[in-house]
Each structure stands twice: as structure tokens, then as C-alpha cells.
């Protein structure tokens, strides 16, 4: 049965709206680390946080505190830039998910190009493996990208589900079949399979049919739901949804 990793980026997004210019203000809230502890208590098997180059939400201090405080595992999402990579090597998270990054985007808009970035990605993966981190590549379910991911020596792929999430009816069914084929190919290459992006309480169940799916990383929908039912309940609802499929 797939498990749930909770992405806490948007807790930090809300904090930064008010406290971007005063990061050390003792009144700064909400606290993404406190949210992570609630998510763990409610059944999350890991906490995901994206440390972006522009530090638009999660801050360096958050990552160090998460490493210290959480009791499950830290899945650190990063772009392949040297300054961010150095932080990952220092933190030594259990998992690192390498993602594309564009400063003009609101959130990650697509998968890595493992073909074009092959040399850079291979170097980063080797360095992360040297400190004991498992490495995932956030990619679209395209045959060429999955083949390239397999050749890079990554442990996982995280299949980008954004296109699926934004489609409806027959188009969504077609996207789902594409995701299934991609997951099956990844497994045949010895890659483990995670998925995420745009998943919510309405569209997650069909994703559970992906072959070999181990973990879903979900953030925005859970944080949004928490505004009406509380974070603990929002996480528990998603854990139950995944468990009952």
C-alpha cells in the first residue's frame, strides 16, 4: 500500500507573506516545523520540503530544524544548484528529490529533463549517494526521460502527476494510462516509483493503481483542507483515503 509524505512548503508560504522581511521575528507564524510534527502524528510517513534558490517559502533554518525535530524521514526537494546541493550534503536527509526550478513559476511546472542534464544529474546523484541519501528524480512519464533516469543510477522516480490532475473525463483517463505505463517501465529498469503534484481528495484514488507505487507526496491540497478541518484531520483523511483506495 502506498504511503503519504506531506509537503509543508505552503505553511511556510503563508508565513513569508507577513514575515519575509523579518525572518527572526519571534511572532513569525505559522511554523512549518510545528506543522510537520502534526503531520507525523496524523500518520504521514515523511515530510517533504522544497528549499528553493530564491527562498520564497522554506528557509535554511527550517531545513535544519526539520532534520533535528522530525522522527519519520525528511524528503528534501532541491534544484541542481551548487549552493543548495551543499546544504543537502550537510543535512544528509534520508531522501532527496531533484526537481526543475524556474524562478518565474508559482510551483514546479514539469519534470526534469534527464536527457539534457545527464552529466549534471549524474554528478549530483553520486555526491548524494556518498552521504547516504536516496535520490529521486521528478520527471514526466515520458519513455525517454524514464530510460535516462534509469541510466543515471537514481533510486526512485517521482512521476509528475500535474497534467493528470488538470485533466477531466476521457483526457484524464488517457493521462492515467500514460502514468501507469511510465511506472511499469520504471519498475522494469529497477527504479522505485513515487508520485505527486496536483493531487487532492478527489483525484488521488485512481493514482493508487500505478504499478509499484510506494509513496505519494501531497502538500497544497492538505494545507488547504486544514483551513476548515484542522491539519491533523486533513492528514488523517488523506492517509485513510490512500489506505482504503
Q: Please indicate whether residue 53 is annotated as part of the active site.
A: no
Q: Please indicate whether residue 129 is annotated as part of the active site.
A: no
Q: Please indicate whether residue 118 is annotated as part of the active site.
A: no
Interval 142-197: pLDDT, tens: 999 999 999 999 999 999 999 999 999 999 999 999 999 999 999 999 999 999 99
Query: Which residue among the candidates 40, 77, 101, 175 is catalytic per the annotation?
Result: 77
Q: All 3 cell numbers of residue 59? A: 528557509
Q: What integer pLDDT is reported at residue 109 of this predicted model?
A: 61
Q: Among 95, 91, 202, 219, which residue's Cα sits nearest to residue 154?
A: 95
Contact predicate 216/195, CB 8 Å: yes
* Overall average pLDDT of the 44-62 stretch: 96
Query: Which residue among the candidates 40, 158, 197, 215 is catalytic per the annotation?
Result: 197
Domains annotated on the chain, with CATH: 3-244 (3.20.20.70)
Is the peptide bond preceding residue 30 cis, with omega within 30 degrees of 0? yes
d(CA 125, CA 128): 5
Interval 129-146: pLDDT, tens: 999 999 999 999 999 999
Query: Which residue among the candidates 10, 50, 57, 160 is catalytic per the annotation?
Result: 50
Mind giving me the DSSP string for 71-82? SS-EEEEE-S-H
Amino acid at each position: 500500500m502506498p504511503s503519504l509524505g506531506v509537503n509543508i512548503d505552503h505553511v511556510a508560504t503563508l508565513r513569508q507573506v507577513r514575515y519575509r522581511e523579518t525572518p527572526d521575528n519571534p511572532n513569525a507564524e505559522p511554523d512549518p516545523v510545528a506543522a510537520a510534527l502534526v503531520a507525523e502524528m496524523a500518520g504521514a510517513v515523511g515530510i517533504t520540503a522544497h528549499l528553493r534558490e530564491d527562498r520564497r517559502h522554506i528557509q535554511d533554518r527550517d531545513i535544519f530544524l526539520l532534520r533535528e525535530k522530525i522522527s519519520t524521514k525528511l524528503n528534501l526537494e532541491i534544484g541542481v544548484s551548487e549552493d543548495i546541493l551543499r546544504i543537502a550534503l550537510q543535512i544528509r536527509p534520508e531522501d532527496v528529490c531533484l526537481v526543475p526550478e524556474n524562478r518565474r513559476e508559482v510551483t514546479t511546472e514539469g519534470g526534469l529533463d534527464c536527457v539534457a542534464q545527464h552529466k549534471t544529474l549524474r554528478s549530483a546523484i553520486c555526491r548524494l549517494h556518498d552521504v547516504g541519501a536516496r535520490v529521486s528524480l521528478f520527471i514526466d512519464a515520458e519513455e525517454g526521460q524514464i530510460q535516462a533516469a534509469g541510466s543515471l543510477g537514481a533510486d526512485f522516480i517521482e512521476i509528475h502527476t500535474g497534467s493528470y490532475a488538470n485533466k477531466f473525463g476521457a483526457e484524464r483517463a488517457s493521462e492515467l494510462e500514460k502514468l501507469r505505463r511510465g511506472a511499469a517501465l520504471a519498475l522494469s529498469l529497477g527504479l522505485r516509483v513515487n508520485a505527486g503534484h496536483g493531487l487532492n481528495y478527489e483525484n488521488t484514488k485512481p493514482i493508487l493503481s500505478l504499478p509499484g507505487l510506494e509513496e505519494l507526496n501531497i502538500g497544497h491540497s492538505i494545507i488547504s483542507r486544514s483551513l476548515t478541518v484542522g491539519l491533523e484531520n486533513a492528514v488523517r483523511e488523506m492517509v485513510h483515503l490512500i489506505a482504503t483506495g
